[in-house]
Amino acid sequence: MPKHIEIVDEFNRPTGRQATINQSLDKGLWHRGAVVVVCTKTGFILVQKRSSNMRMHPGQLDISAGGFVDIGEDPEDTAIREVHEELGLTIHKSQLNFLYIHRKNHVLPRRQGFSRAFVYCYVICLPDEHVSIVPQAEEVAWARFLPYRTVRRMALGSAIRHIGRFEPRRAYYRRLLLAAKPFMKH
């Protein structure tokens, strides 16, 4: 049975309606999401390559783990769940640092629908990059820590042929990286 998410209006107010994720994307319904940037105090950012079977941005790189806020969850619960599901990391609310809410409103490539969401952005900062990452194969092809400068260069436009490329959302990545940077000591 498909998961249902809460539908909100264009001002992020609950409407009392529910829909499946696919219905939300097909019809361009406003909803909530949460993403977490995983960084280290040693100056690394966790980068993941999305699985090629994902509906949104298949095979592209991302600097966050995240997803849709399910019915009965708050964005912090979603952030914790998604980091565990996608990366195998167990984190706690006390580790989450709220950054901002990103208002996402764009057409998906190849007319696959509309992504309209209020995305709650968080960062967690680990002591170093020596943690066990266990990517969820259905969603994540691979994940690894890369130096902040490398990630910034890649996210803002330079693809590295053997690694891949980020989806073309430079302003989004610039803001997310700048917001996460103060949590690193490099």
pLDDT at res. 160: 61
pLDDT at res. 115: 84
Here the CATH number for the domain that contains residue 59 is: 3.90.79.10
Which range of residues forms the domain containing residue 110?
A: 4-183
Predicted confidence (pLDDT) at residue 52 exceeds the cutoff of 70: yes
Which residues, other chains included, contact 110 with Cβ-Cβ below 8 Å and sequence gap of 6+?
none
Task: Indicate the average pLDDT of the chain.
Answer: 88
Integer-rounded Cα radius of gyration of the chain: 16
- Number of separate domains in the chain: 1
Stretch 74-89: mean pLDDT, rounded? 95
Which amino acid makes up residue 126?
A: L
pLDDT at res. 170: 81
125 falls in which pLDDT band (50, 70, 90)?
very high
Predicted confidence (pLDDT) at residue 81 exceeds the cutoff of 80: yes
Alpha helices per DSSP H over the chain: 21-27, 75-87, 148-155, 170-180
Stretch 118-141: mean pLDDT, rounded? 91
Predicted confidence (pLDDT) at residue 75 exceeds the cutoff of 90: yes
Structure letter (DSSP) for residue 70: B
Q: What's the pTM?
A: 0.90
pLDDT tens digits, one per residue of 84-123: 999 999 999 999 999 999 998 877 666 677 889 999 999 9
171 falls in which pLDDT band (50, 70, 90)?
confident
